[in-house]
Every structure is written in structure tokens, then in C-alpha cells.
Structure 1
Amino acid sequence: MSQDLSHDTISISRTIKAPRERVFSAWEDPQARSIWGPPSEDEAIEFLENDFREGGIDVHRCGQSSDLRFRVETHYYEIRRPHRLLFTERVTTDGSPLSISLVSVEIGNSESVTELKVTIQIASLAGSGIIEGTRNGWQRALSNLTAYLEARKVEAE
């Protein structure tokens, strides 16, 4: 067994002051995901393919804005509007696999806010650093999603 194989489960929750349908739509729209998905201002996401449906596949590149070295293939297995998403992500660089994750997104309402819970079950083929990078990237992206949706609410008022 390879020393580089690592596993973990990452759970992240956010309370977002936006309707559940708007939260779901932000996952569905690749332009929106390109805005809130990068974990920092010097990183970017570029969609190459977008097929947001059960059985569909999205493909994007991501990384530093000047070096989109990571390729992510997302396979959608369940899309239950506006409650749940279930998909896998396979991350590679230069054709070499880095990680494979099963991601579940639960979108629940509680009065005037949305309770978002994301669970990532990850197998890293390149050691624990990939897991920490995934954890930090998702935490920042979901904070960006919260800020993006709450700013849009203010703009709409």
C-alpha cells in the first residue's frame, strides 16, 4: 500500500441569509461558481464543460490565476432542487491523479435563512497536504458563497 494514500471526511456548515432557491442557483450557474468558488483573490476557476444535471459532467481548471494547473472533473449523481446535490470530484495535475472525493451538499431552510452543510469524503493519492488544501479551499469558497449571496440580497433591495 502506498504511503501517499490518505483519507478524511470534511464537514463544513454555513448559515446564509438568502433563500434556499438562490443558494441552489449559485451552485448551478458556472458564472456564479467562477466568482465565489476560488478560495482567494489570486486564484481562479475556468469552466471547460458544464453539464449540471444527473449524469452530467462539469470540467474546470483552477489554481493561481496565472497557472490553472489543476483539472477537476465533477460527475453529478443526484440533483434534488433545491434540497441536495451529490457528486464526485476527481482532481488531476499534468494527467496525474491527486484526489477523488464524494461530495454531498444539503440545503435546508430555517425561517429566512438557509442552512448549508457540505460533506467531502476524500481519498488523496498524494498525501495529506492535498486533504488540507481541499479543506481550506472549501472553507474559503463557502465563506465566499455566503458573502456573494448576502451581497446580492443587499443589491436587490
Structure 2
Amino acid sequence: MTEASVTHATIVLERIYEASPARVFQALADPRARVRWGTPSKNVELIYDKADFRVGGLDISRCGPRGSLIYRVETRYIDIEPEQRIVSTELVREGWNRLSASLITVELQPVGASTRLVLTDQIAAFGGKDMVAGSEAGFSAALDNLAVEFLSTTVGA
């Protein structure tokens, strides 16, 4: 019998945004904004089937290559402190296969008129390190896109 492997990792990403903590928090809370900035590239699509941003709330989304939304993501919000912190769990599946489970903390700190965002993803990836690398690359690209969000749109508009 083959044992299923699990890879544990902690990913920490940091960005400074030329936006207030209130504006950054709003971009994180608003599912329409998350669809705009949350995909790592133009070749990836993200759709929310359910969005319930509150403590105890559950988001359900699907993502993957355009036209092939093969991944299902369930995000449960554990702690939300407006303009300061969001703590959530995330379960990623492909069909019936669990790919990863994470505890994700996003911290927002004012730095003058800007905001320092620190994202910590404590991930358990099932079946190999590729999911850890994919999670890090995906979050990194999405956070880079978030900077563009502040240049190009009014969040919530």
C-alpha cells in the first residue's frame, strides 16, 4: 500500500501598497475586486459561486485555465479585524482529490499614507511540493496584481 505524502510549508509574502489600510481591506473583502486582481495571469479564470466575507462565512470559488475551471477552493473566515487582519482556512480540490489545506493570515499595517501587507500561508500540500510552489507563485502574482488595482480602479465601483 502506498502512503499519501504531505508537504508542510510556511510561505510569507510582503508588499507595500500606495493605498490606505481601509482601501486595501476593501479590495480583499470585495469578491468583485478579488476576481479582478486575484488571478495570477490573464490565462487563468476565477469565479465565485458563493461569497460570504464575515467571521464564520464561507467563500466557494472555481479557478483554473480559461475555460477549464478544474480547481475548487473553499475559504472559511475565522477572524476579521477591519483594516487590520483577515485569518482564513483554505481547502483546494481538483475533483474529489484534496490538493492542499492552509491557514492564511493577512495583516495590514499603516506605513504613512501607504499599507504594508503581510500574507502568511501555512500550507499542508498533499502529494508533493508542486502545490506549495504553485500556491506561492499564485499568491505572489495576485498580490502584484493588487498593486495595479489601486492604480486603475476605485474599489467597489
Q: Residue 18 of structure 1 contacts residue 150 of structure 1 at CA under 8 Å; is this kept in 2?
A: no
Partner of 2:78: 77
Partner of 2:99: 98
Give 1:87's aligned amino acid: S
SS at match of 1:141: helix
Q: Residue 79 of structure 2 contacts residue 85 of structure 2 at CA under 8 Å; is this kept in 1?
A: yes
**Gaps spanning 5+ residues in structure 1: where?**
none
1:36-75 map, 5 Å? 36-75=37-76
Pairing 1:109–2:110 present: yes
Q: Report the TM-score, using the length of structure 1 for normalisation.
A: 0.94
Q: Report the TM-score, using the length of structure 2 for normalisation.
A: 0.94
Query: Percent same amino acid at aligned positions?
Result: 37
Q: Distance in 1 between matches of 2:60 and 2:150?
A: 24
Q: Distance in 2 between matches of 1:129 and 1:145?
A: 24
Q: Distance in 2 between matches of 1:30 and 1:87?
A: 15
Q: Distance in 2 between matches of 1:144 and 1:150?
A: 10
SS at match of 2:28: helix
CA drift at 1:66: 1.2
Give 1:5's aligned amino acid: V
Partner of 2:8: 7
CA drift at 1:147: 1.3
Q: Distance in 1 between matches of 2:24 and 2:66?
A: 25
SS at match of 1:92: strand
Q: Deviations over 1:34-77 (max 9, x none)?
A: 01000000101100001100000000001111111000000000
Q: Deviations over 1:84-141 (max 9, x none)?
A: 0000000001111000000000011010110000000000012100100001000000
CA drift at 1:3: 5.4
**Gaps spanning 5+ residues in structure 2: where?**
none
Q: Residue 4 of structure 2 contacts residue 126 of structure 2 at CA under 8 Å; is this kept in 1?
A: no
- Structural RMSD (CA): 1.2
Give 1:67's aligned amino acid: S
Give 1:54's aligned amino acid: V
**Structure 1 residue runs of 4+, over 6 Å off?**
none
Q: Residue 43 of structure 1 contacts residue 65 of structure 1 at CA under 8 Å; is this kept in 2?
A: yes
Count of residues in correspondence between the two structures? 153
Q: Distance in 2 between matches of 1:66 and 1:45?
A: 10
Q: Distance in 2 between matches of 1:25 and 1:48?
A: 20
Q: Distance in 2 between matches of 1:43 and 1:83?
A: 29
Give 2:110's aligned amino acid: N
Q: Distance in 2 between matches of 1:32 and 1:3?
A: 37
Q: Distance in 1 between matches of 2:151 and 2:14?
A: 16
